[in-house]
Structure 1
Amino acid sequence: MKNSLYITLFLLATSFSQHLSGQSTSDSIDVFIKEKMIQLKIPGLQLAIVKKGKLEKLSYYGLANIEHNVAISSKSTFSINSMTKAFVGIAIMQLQEQGKLKVDDPISQYINDIPNEWRAITIRQLLSNISGLPNNINDKEQVLGDGTEENNWEMVKKLPMEFKPGERFSYNQTGYYILGRIITKLSSQHFTKFIEENQFKIADMSSTQFGDSNDIIPNSAGAYSTIVNTDGKWINDEKLHNAFATFPIFFRTATGIISTSEDLGKWLIALQNGKLLRNKNSVNEMFTSVKLNDGHIDGFNKLTNGYALGWPTVVRDEHPAAAPVGGMRSALFVYPKDELSIVILTNLQGSNPEWLIDEIAGYYFPDMKIKNGFGLSKNLKLLRQELIHSKFKNSFKIYSDIKRNNEDYNLSEDEINSWGYQLIEQNKKNEALQVFHFNTLLYPKSANVYDSYAETLELTGNRKEAIINYRKSLELNPANSNARQFLENKK
């Protein structure tokens, strides 16, 4: 049953792709998307690509509803979850352009009923999740209290600050609730209406609205999930479940917009064309990652490693991006230097499509392809280049020669390991084997590098050497369940 479902999804994706442009770039992207949908078990997906201010590609694949075999269409609507915060960022910048606020104003200038220790927190700190405010949701991401605004507000005000404002990054929903109140107060209309009139209507987003699972949403693509929240931790049980979410109206600055990839493409074009924000400096400020008190930038993970004004950011020298993500199921990347934007909406919580978008951008900019070394550190790229020339032989000697000429040259255990797994995904198993072996020479006291090397030895058919290295890993870390399980199965 399980296999037949994903065969069906693949066939649906194939049939929809026939309506697309015949260009090789477009066709290659379709092939990539179909493969990832099968690999990640994504029922339905929409894609929009904006290039140089125009909608370059609109595609849709798979099923909106598995139970009734309803196909995704161009009109299918998806919850974009926390991507909603990017709309809040624009709303705040619109109010700044109108002279009604400044993002460095303290929130006490606009909100009175707050604890004294909150008073100096700025709007910028709310937008960038560095405020230190207590969160108005619990570990299971449920709104505190009985779901009413008044009770939720009274509860969160009694909680202690998590840290000094600006001290660190911590994803926070309370800040966005306060931003909603500020927008409502200064615009003299509810924040949802302000965003509808000043973004949805201006960008002609006819399929976009605020809503949740309790609302009747035209053409809803629904929601599925392979993850469950157990004791505050998200666990992937690899089983497909229906997913439902409710967002009280007061909470909808944090999450609450339903949209399509086409509408989001229109929204991005309106932003780029000056229809949403008149001043380019406003866009630049909104996309600029906010620094902590100690001067460094932080974010969710190694990809979305910064946060600007409502917009997560990808901070890097090559092809930086503003990158809203939502619900572990939707994402869009704006590459300001490349005049390219990519939107992916899915109905699978846990698909995390942000990890696919750079690879799609690579069809337009080949240096962004993982197979060409994109995403590797400058130091690792140098080693990669030399290893390619040597056909991945004598890796430790090559590394030693590089380091001899550059005392500051270093590679971390994790980045080498990650590169090895990338090579496996590219079906370069022998090259991966050499990389993992090199990592054991560089970090001989790490259980993890021997475990990865052993996995790859087993993958390439060298079971005898795999057993030796699993034993070595287990000696270094007796708690390594992966090594223990392998060795027990081989008895």
Structure 2
Amino acid sequence: MFARKASIAIVTILSLPLCLLAQSVSTSDSVDLFISRVMQEKKIPALQLAVVRDGKVVKHATYGMANLEHNIKATEKSIFSINSITKAFTGVAIMQLVEAGKLNIKDPLSKHLDSLPQAWQQITLQQVLTHTSGLPDMDGSDGMIMGKGDERLAMEEITKRPIDFKPGEKFSYNQTGYVLLGQIITKLSGMHFTKFIESRQFAVADMKLTRFGDSYDVIPNSAGSYTLTKQKGEQFVRNDKPGVAYIQFPEFYRTAAGILSTATDMANWVIALKTGKLLKDKASMEIMWTPAVLNNGRIGGFNRLTNGYALGWPTVSRAEHPAVAPVGGGRSSVFVYRNDDLSIIVLSNLMGGNPDQFTDEIAGFYIPDMKAENGFGLSPGLKKLNAALRKTGFEHTGSAMASLKKLDPAFTLSDDELNGWAYQLLAQKRFKEALSIFQLNVSLHPKSANAFDSLGEMYEVLEQPKEALASYKKSLALNRENKNAAGRIKALTSK
């Protein structure tokens, strides 16, 4: 069975190491302390970090355990699966063929591949690369790849299916297109696409430990793959301790996933890319890193952070510190901050560790205005309020708002804005500040059921059940369909 998403916990480990030690060329610093805290909170067994500035690796560090079964510490030579970050390598490979004059990203699939279904023929390479093609997905809803490892069988099955939507209509993550890209790279380069990527990227970028592989292969210094989810009947349940995950990527699938690497090798790859060793023309990188525009004029991506998708590269499209940010398997990320000469690579061996969620925080150690406490990521209005509260103290939210309104009578903040910020403060364990913003939200938006529901959750965190109960009751009175408030009221009154 060839699974991509399925994460069957075969071995459950009794405990994580109490101490996550860093083996690094640098002394322990605030970044190390931050990483160790995040690893403990998320239960990540091992993690590698590399930071690139001025074309050099300025920090590389390895933390934790590569193998929990045999109590083996991770080292700088430990190799991690990067899963779908592989797609970024495929994007580079396609652009190398563009520079060689062998194709154009606007080419229809039918220009390079024969015997495609009629509905597929005019889909462009760009639409395939950006997951806007509408192609049916070779990765089934059960996480199983079609064909059971056989490319011919997979293609026979997938080509019988209709397209999912009109090309360019929306973003929909899709593996089929990358299988087709592998076929095109193999055809136009004169060698199998894995060999093309190995020779034109791994070798050029001095990626000595990087290779293609999966759980079936015997890989020296493998950091393995762990998961906190376990299948129980038809459901997947979350465990408190990591178990072993087993995943295979058939060779024909390895334009989509299948590369294993180290953080240092990945840093070398980013440096080679940015210094023109992989792509000669700067315009090639601009094309590769520009997110697709949908038929409605918008961009589409995974979530609010990685909100666009370019040629194999997810994008963080925002006014401040935009980035291109390949992510893989919920376990690894590569953030290249386009305007800041900063790149951060985080590889881990826990599916669901989601380092993309805390990479910006690492960046804040190198770019101070990216620190969450300095207001990074907040809306312009919230930034003004944050600046005011840093002067007056968070206990004076009312007077701070009054001052801002005096300066600008039109100044306003939505309940969603305030709620989102309060939860960020809560995640940072800034409990007093979070409570103040939740309280401000209900005072400014007394008819918002969601604001009162969130305030109730804050009071529960602070172990103030009476106050929590009152907030939930207010929320339910405003919205009788609020199941969370109803459930919490029942739980709190039954104690």
TM-score, length basis structure 2: 0.91
Where does residue 264 of structure 1 map in the other structure?
266
Provide Cα deviations, 1:69-104, integer angstroms capped at 9, x if missing partner. Answer: 001011101110000000000000000000000111
> What is the distance in 2 between the residues matched to 1:41 and 1:485?
28
**1:20: which partner in 2?**
25
Partner of 1:53: 55
Q: 1:158 to 1:350 in 2, by over 3 A?
A: same
1:132-154 C-alpha deviation (Å, 9 max, x unpaired): 11101111221124331111112
Secondary structure at the residue paired with 1:5? Answer: coil
1:251 aligns with 2:253: yes
Distance 1:83 1:163 in 2: 25
Q: Which amino acid aligns with 1:117?
A: A
CA-to-partner distance for each residue in 1:9-55, whole Å, 9 max, x for gaps? 52xx33x34x4324xxx611001000000010000111111111111
Tell me, yes or no, if the aligned pair for 2:331 and 2:353 is still in contact at 8 Å: yes
Q: What is aligned with 1:101?
A: 103
Residue 469, structure 1, aligned to residue 471, structure 2: yes
Instruction: Specify the alignment match of 1:181 in structure 2.
Output: 183
Number of equivalent positions: 482
Query: Which residue of 275, 282, 302 corresponds with 2:304?
Result: 302
Deviation at 1:114, TM superposition (A): 1.2
1:117 is aligned to 119
For 2:110 and 2:42, locate their aligned partners in 1 and report how far apart those are by CA, in whole Å: 46
Amino acid at match of 1:226: L
Give the CA RMSD over aligned residues: 2.4
Gapped regions of structure 1 (runs ≥ 5) = none
Alpha carbons of structure 1 residues 50 and 119: separation in structure 2 relative to 1, 3 Å = same
Once the two structures are aligned, what percentage of the paired residues are identical? 49
Map of 2:4 onto structure 1: none
Separation in structure 1 between the aligned mates of residue 151 and residue 128 of structure 2, nearest angstrom = 19
For 2:409 and 2:135, locate their aligned partners in 1 and report how far apart those are by CA, in whole Å.
Answer: 43
Instruction: Tell me: higher relative CO, structure 1 or 2? Use CA pairs within 8 A at least 6 residues apart.
Output: 2
C-alpha distance in structure 1 between counterparts of 2:217 and 2:431, whole Å: 49
Aligned to 1:5: 15
Separation of aligned partners in 2, 1:127 and 1:454: 44
Q: Is the 8 A contact 1:9 1:62 kept in 2?
A: no
CA contact (8 A) 1:139 1:231 kept: no
Unaligned runs of 5+ in 2: 1-11
Rounded to whole Å, the distance in 1 between the matches of 2:439 and 2:172 is 37
Deviations 1:446-482 (A, max 9, x none): 4332122012223345432221112223342455246
CA shift at 1:369, angstroms? 0.7
Give the Å deviation of 1:156. Answer: 1.2
Which moves more between the two structures, 463-472 or 255-264? 463-472
Matched residue of 1:300: which SS? Answer: coil
Go from structure 1 to structure 2 and tell me whether the alpha carbon gap of 1:431 and 1:275 turns closer, same or farther (over 3 Å shift).
same
Structure 2 equivalent of residue 454 of structure 1 = 456
Q: 2:208 aligns with which of 206, 209, 221?
A: 206
Query: Match for residue 426 of structure 1?
Result: 428
**Is 1:484 aligned with 2:494?**
no
Find the aligned partners of 1:481 and 1:333 in 2 and give their Cα distance: 36
Structure 2 distance, partners of 1:205, 1:485, is 53
CA distance in 2, matches of 1:281, 1:342: 23
- Alpha carbons 1:473, 1:483 under 8 Å: kept: no
Aligned-residue offset at 1:441: 3.5
TM-score (norm 1): 0.92
Per the alignment, do residues 461 and 138 of structure 1 end up closer, same or farther by CA in structure 2, a change over 3 Å counting? closer
Between the aligned partners of 2:120 and 2:441, the Cα distance in structure 1 is: 48
Q: Quick one: structure 1 residues 469 and 459, their matched pair in 2 at CA, closer, same or farther if it must change by over 3 Å?
A: same
Aligned residue in 2 for 1:138: 140
